[in-house]
């Protein structure tokens, strides 16, 4: 329960922040901070269990039929990352509350921030890879919102799109890879997958799974060649940059590598791919960072380099290297978040992040200088700060790593990267704070209040404290995280002095000295860098996306050109081709059944049906004639249903035909009498050939299935056998609709209601004042289509209405045991009401209608939903029905099924949808000068309609 609450609290905080923002900006920050602090406190309450080696678990059924559970687990690695996410998250909330300007909407910002926090927490606590994937993609979506928070800036919008495209595509790849792991291990639970390392590494699917998973991890953690999206994401507000792209989001890829380290590492493929990618990323990021002028861009590329360092350590595949990786993750999160927040303070006070406009701030901003100085020295690997310790340990591991057939090549390249890291760290510090004060700052800078410097000061204090007492403050945390990664007892051993014989010490001194030399040559090197042509990752990405868009557009324009005939032809050819492939590769049984004797009248009806369908196809451009023939086809089909002992289907078909014919007639009133012939002769021949071949294929398939004995039990046998004992009704058709396949019916009535609402909305849009409405009124007034209202028809419909309603109620009540049901009853009552509109006109009928059709649709869906949800009260799945006998006063005992209430919802929804569609279409036909008392949903407020 504690784990579930930890995972849920950030999402609750997002909701609380959104609601609290209506009170004040400070209330939104307090809501977000309170949720984060409570989640952090609950996490720390599990510390004794984690330190003792106990794995805290929580699980609830998710999809029991597939054996899937919503499972969470907290081990050392999960605790380590959750502590970073929630701890730094709390500091970020405090900082952001004082950083955002009054024009920035605080409610959406803290909502997005908490959504991201919840997604990251869910990733590190998930014990089910499908849950992990859900949270993984949620980080991409929430970071998209955060990066593009300043949506008025083009660079923010583009950075958000780029981050979403790259990390989203990688997430899809990772999805496939994790599914492969689940198939190999026989479970989608991570705790099971982590115990199947030997089986996974020996599987033929290991390499495909490894490549797919690494693609997802590399895109998320900005590894080369996907590093370009991270600096573009710096267009986000500084709290976002500090949180997402130094402490948490980019660490998600590293978390995945660490989580799957026990089952994926230890192979030549893992070592070659992960180590090489990390090393290249480390080198590229460090070099580019040195040449950046923007403070956040410099820090962004330095983050890329540091992430490459950690990735390289995990790629070594050794237990000591994994320990160093965990240690550096902790150190990097502390000094890099402090640096980002310091850069935000400089930007906030000086109104610029350009090194060309800064310098000499150490006297004007001494507190910020102290914080940034500590963090910069740690990033450079200068003792006694924590960055020095993990850098020394990294160099020691590099010295003992054989790579590309050489013992010295990897250490040499690592030193080059470390050299540039020293250079860019000192360039950040000196270019911003050292040197003489300037008189041309865009804004006169000074140290802000504690609201801004408190959070980076806490982080800088951790940098110093861990550097001075690493074993006391960080040893226990790194140990439990490393043991979860390596699945073996390990121990952090960090100290400042390893003796003169330590190769790491000499390499570190070489890196520091070389970095100072590079810093001294910064001016000519930067001038040379600006003149030398170099590939632009952003331009390459834009060109790639543009190419994909052009290819997609050409395919789409070629296929979707607005021609229904073309789209129908493509669909029919595709389905016919798939059917032909299945038919030719399968085996049909022998034609063992005998022909059934056929009555000549049936043959005649079949011939009429065929003739009518051919007539519709041949004369479809004459719309009214085609509609009349379609009515004949529908009535013939209903007779066929009755002949084949399917009275329910016959009733439904007849009523549906009546309603649809009336609505189509009303719609055709606003269309030309004939459809233009848009197809050339050659295309008509091709269309005829496609339709003919497809029709013959379906006929042959139907013939074969009818003449071949069934090789498997028919579902109809189950429905007939279980209709009474399982559903409490003898009418199997109705029991299927409201019980066995209630989900289908529930979806269908919902879609039916939505369709009616769409018709109503379209008509309301058409009738708004404007050129389209004026043309429509002119066209209607010019038509000779008077509303005659014949007296005989009007009198007859008055008499028919109560009888039809009585019949409808009767059909509804008998539907569970005899032909009828809510659907047919709704159509019967709809027809009776439609007749009122036909006989007396729209104005007369609307003026006397006391029912809201919108309310009928809503009531129908709500009744059906409530009926299905009532099963939850008895610990049963949604839409589970029951039945039994009921004895009421003055009545005999009778059987009653709960599905009858569901059928009532069907009745109300069908009635409301049909009548709303009729009412909407009828409004267009109001004659000029005819006044109608329209209900509120018919028109926009304030609009007058004649």
Please report the pLDDT score of residue 394 as a whole number: 92
Please report the pLDDT score of residue 710 as a whole number: 59
Q: Which of 276-285, 670-679, 690-699 has the highest mean pLDDT?
A: 276-285
What is the DSSP pairing of strand 883-886 with strand 894-897?
antiparallel
Q: What is the pLDDT of residues 402-419, one digit of tens each?
A: 898 888 999 999 999 999
Give 59's strand partners: 71
Whole-number average pLDDT of the chain: 85
- Residue 929: pLDDT band (50, 70, 90) is very low
Angle at 310 between CA 266 and CA 345, to 5 degrees: 165
- Among 92-106, 170-184, 520-534, 850-864, whose mean pLDDT is lowest? 520-534
Please report the pLDDT score of residue 425 as a whole number: 93
Give 74's strand partners: 56
Q: What is the pLDDT of residues 642-661, one digit of tens each?
A: 888 888 888 888 888 888 88
d(CA 739, CA 719): 10
Those residues with Cβ within 8 angstroms of residue 427's Cβ, 6 or more apart along the chain or in another chain? 290, 298, 355, 519, 522
Please report the pLDDT score of residue 389 as a whole number: 92
Those residues with Cβ within 8 angstroms of residue 569's Cβ, 6 or more apart along the chain or in another chain? 686, 687, 690
Please report the pLDDT score of residue 642 as a whole number: 87
Q: What is the pLDDT of residues 817-850, one digit of tens each?
A: 888 888 899 989 988 888 888 787 777 777 777 7
The CA–CA distances, whole Å, from 922 to 752, 787, 794, 842, 912 equal 19, 12, 18, 7, 15
- Check: CB of residue 368 under 8 Å from CB of residue 447: yes
Q: Which residue has the tokens 């559903």?
A: 727
- Residue 16: pLDDT band (50, 70, 90) is very high
The proportion of the chain whose per-residue pLDDT surpasses 70, expressed as a percent, equals 93
Joined together, the tokens standing for residue 760 give 């109503």
Please report the pLDDT score of residue 608 as a whole number: 86
Q: Which residue has the tokens 């390990």?
A: 490
- Residue 792: pLDDT band (50, 70, 90) is confident
DSSP 590: P
Q: Which residue has the tokens 């590494």?
A: 201
Within 10 A of 528 (CB to CB), how many other CB atoms are there? 11
Q: Which residue has the tokens 């790491």?
A: 504
Nearest by Cα to 80 from 319, 331, 315: 331
- Check: CB of residue 474 under 8 Å from CB of residue 466: yes
d(CA 618, CA 548): 42
**Sign of CA pseudo-dihedral 161, 167, 170, 175:** negative
Please report the pLDDT score of residue 370 as a whole number: 94
- Check: CB of residue 245 under 8 Å from CB of residue 233: yes
> Which backbone phi and psi does 306 adopt, to 5 degrees?
-65, -35
Joined together, the tokens standing for residue 738 give 């409201």
Q: Which residue has the tokens 């986000």?
A: 236
DSSP 271: I
Please report the pLDDT score of residue 941 as a whole number: 37
Q: Is 873 exposed, middle or buried (0-12, 13-18, 19+ CB in 10 A)?
A: exposed
d(CA 830, CA 395): 81
Joined together, the tokens standing for residue 461 give 């204090």
Q: What is the pLDDT of residues 499-539, one digit of tens each?
A: 777 788 889 899 999 999 998 888 888 888 888 877 777 77
Those residues with Cβ within 8 angstroms of residue 587's Cβ, 6 or more apart along the chain or in another chain? none
Angle at 535 between CA 533 and CA 536, to 5 degrees: 110
Q: What is the pLDDT of residues 227-261, one digit of tens each?
A: 888 888 888 888 988 888 665 778 889 999 999 99
- Residue 178: pLDDT band (50, 70, 90) is very high
User: What is the average pLDDT across 696-702?
Assistant: 84
- Residue 946: pLDDT band (50, 70, 90) is very low
Given a cut of 80, whether residue 708 has pLDDT beyond it is no
- Residue 268: pLDDT band (50, 70, 90) is very high
Those residues with Cβ within 8 angstroms of residue 233's Cβ, 6 or more apart along the chain or in another chain? 143, 147, 159, 160, 162, 163, 241, 244, 245, 300
The proportion of the chain whose per-residue pLDDT surpasses 90, expressed as a percent, equals 34
Please report the pLDDT score of residue 326 as a whole number: 94
Q: What is the pLDDT of residues 94-133, one digit of tens each?
A: 999 988 888 888 889 999 999 999 999 999 999 988 889 9
DSSP 119: H
Given a cut of 50, whether residue 563 has pLDDT beyond it is yes
Of 35 and 719, the structure prediction assigns the larger pLDDT to 35
Q: Which residue has the tokens 């038919």?
A: 583
- Residue 938: pLDDT band (50, 70, 90) is very low
User: What is the average pLDDT across 871-876?
Assistant: 83
Within 10 A of 882 (CB to CB), how many other CB atoms are there? 14
pTM of the model: 0.71
The CA–CA distances, whole Å, from 103 to 19, 97, 236, 657 equal 18, 13, 15, 59
Report, in this order, helix, strand and coil percent for the chain, each rounded to 5: 75, 5, 25
């Amino acid at each position: 329960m504690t784990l579930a609450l930890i995972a849920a609290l950030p999402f609750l905080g997002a909701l609380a922040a959104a609601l609290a923002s209506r009170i004040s900006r400070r209330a939104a920050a307090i809501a977000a901070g309170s949720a984060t602090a409570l989640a952090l406190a609950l996490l720390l309450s599990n510390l004794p269990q984690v330190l003792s080696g106990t794995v805290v678990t929580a699980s609830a059924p998710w999809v029991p039929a597939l054996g899937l559970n919503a499972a969470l687990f907290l081990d050392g690695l999960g605790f380590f990352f959750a502590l970073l996410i929630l701890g730094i998250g709390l500091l970020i909330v405090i900082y952001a509350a004082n950083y955002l300007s009054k024009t920035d909407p605080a409610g959406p910002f803290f909502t997005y921030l908490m959504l991201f926090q919840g997604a990251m927490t869910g990733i590190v606590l998930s014990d089910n890879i499908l849950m992990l994937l859900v949270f993984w993609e949620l980080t991409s979506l929430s970071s998209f919102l955060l990066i593009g928070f300043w949506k008025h800036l083009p660079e923010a919008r583009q950075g958000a799109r780029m981050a979403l495209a790259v990390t989203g595509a990688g997430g899809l790849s990772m999805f496939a890879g994790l599914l492969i792991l689940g198939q190999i291990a026989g479970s989608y639970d991570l705790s099971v997958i982590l115990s199947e390392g030997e089986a996974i590494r020996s599987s033929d699917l290991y390499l495909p799974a490894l490549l797919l998973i690494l693609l997802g991890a590399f895109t998320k953690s900005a590894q080369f060649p996907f590093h370009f999206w991270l600096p573009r994401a710096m267009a986000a507000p500084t709290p976002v940059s500090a949180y997402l792209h130094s402490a948490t989001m980019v660490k998600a890829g590293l978390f995945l590598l660490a989580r799957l380290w026990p089952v994926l590492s230890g192979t030549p493929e893992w070592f070659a791919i992960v180590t090489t990618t990390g090393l290249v990323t480390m080198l590229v990021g460090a070099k580019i960072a040195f040449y950046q002028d923007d403070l956040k861009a410099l820090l962004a590329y330095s983050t890329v380099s540091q992430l490459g360092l950690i990735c390289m350590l995990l790629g070594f595949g050794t237990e000591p290297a994994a320990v160093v990786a965990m240690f550096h993750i902790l150190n990097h999160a502390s000094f890099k978040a402090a640096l980002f927040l310091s850069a935000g303070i400089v930007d906030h006070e000086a109104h610029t992040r350009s090194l060309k406009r800064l310098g000499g701030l150490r006297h004007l901003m001494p507190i910020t200088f102290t914080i940034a100085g500590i963090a910069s020295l740690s990033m450079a690997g200068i003792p006694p700060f924590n960055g020095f310790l993990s850098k020394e340990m990294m160099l020691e591991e590099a010295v003992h790593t054989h790579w590309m057939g050489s013992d010295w090549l990897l250490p040499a390249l690592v030193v080059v990267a470390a050299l540039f890291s020293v250079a860019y760290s000192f360039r950040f510090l000196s270019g911003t704070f050292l040197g003489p004060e300037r008189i041309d700052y865009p804004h006169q800078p000074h140290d802000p209040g504690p609201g801004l410097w408190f959070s980076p000061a806490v982080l800088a204090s951790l940098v110093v404290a861990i550097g001075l007492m690493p074993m006391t403050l960080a040893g226990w945390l790194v140990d439990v995280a490393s043991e979860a990664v390596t699945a073996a007892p390990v121990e952090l051993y960090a100290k400042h002095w390893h003796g003169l014989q330590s190769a790491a010490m000499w390499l570190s001194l070489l890196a520091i000295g070389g970095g100072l030399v590079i810093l001294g040559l910064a001016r000519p090197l930067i001038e040379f860098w600006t003149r030398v042509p170099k590939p632009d990752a952003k331009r390459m990405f834009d060109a790639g996306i543009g190419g994909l868009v052009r290819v997609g557009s050409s395919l789409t324009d070629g296929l979707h050109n607005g021609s229904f005939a073309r789209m129908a032809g493509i669909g029919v050819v595709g389905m016919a081709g798939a059917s032909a492939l299945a038919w030719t590769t399968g085996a049909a049984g022998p034609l063992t059944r005998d022909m059934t004797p056929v009555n000549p009248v049936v043959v005649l009806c079949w011939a009429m049906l065929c003739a009518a369908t051919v007539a519709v196809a041949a004369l479809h451009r004459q719309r009214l004639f085609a509609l009349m023939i379609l009515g004949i086809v529908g009535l013939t089909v209903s007779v066929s249903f009755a002949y084949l002992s399917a009275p329910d289907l016959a009733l439904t078909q007849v009523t549906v035909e009546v309603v649809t014919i009336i609505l189509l007639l009303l719609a055709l009133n606003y269309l030309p009498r004939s459809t233009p012939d848009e197809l050339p002769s050659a295309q008509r021949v091709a269309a005829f050939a496609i339709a003919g071949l497809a029709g013959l294929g379906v006929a042959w398939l139907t013939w074969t299935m009818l003449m071949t004995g069934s090789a498997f039990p028919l579902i109809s046998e189950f429905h007939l056998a279980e209709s009474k004992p399982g559903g409490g009704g003898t009418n199997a058709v109705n029991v299927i609709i409201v019980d066995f396949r209630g989900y289908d019916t529930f979806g269908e009535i919902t879609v039916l209601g939505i369709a009616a609402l769409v018709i109503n909305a379209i008509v309301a849009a058409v009738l708004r004042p404007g050129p389209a409405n004026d043309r429509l009124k002119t066209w209607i007034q010019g038509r000779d289509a008077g509303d005659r209202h014949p007296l005989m028809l009007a009198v007859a419909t008055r008499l028919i209405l109560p009888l039809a309603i009585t019949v409808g109620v009767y059909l509804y009540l008998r539907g569970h045991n005899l032909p009828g049901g809510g659907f047919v009853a709704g159509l019967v009552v709809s027809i009776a009401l439609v007749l009122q509109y036909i006989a007396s006109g729209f104005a007369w009928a609307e003026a006397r209608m006391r029912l809201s059709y919108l309310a009928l649709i809503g009531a129908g869906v709500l009744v059906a939903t409530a009926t299905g949800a009532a099963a939850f009260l008895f610990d049963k799945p949604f839409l589970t029905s029951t039945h039994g006998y009921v004895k009421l006063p003055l009545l005999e005992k009778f059987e009653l099924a709960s599905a009858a209430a569901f059928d009532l919802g069907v009745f109300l929804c069908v009635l409301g949808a049909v009548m709303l569609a009729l009412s909407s279409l009828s409004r267009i036909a109001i004659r000029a000068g005819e006044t109608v008392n329209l209900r509120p949903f018919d028109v926009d407020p304030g609009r007058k309609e004649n």
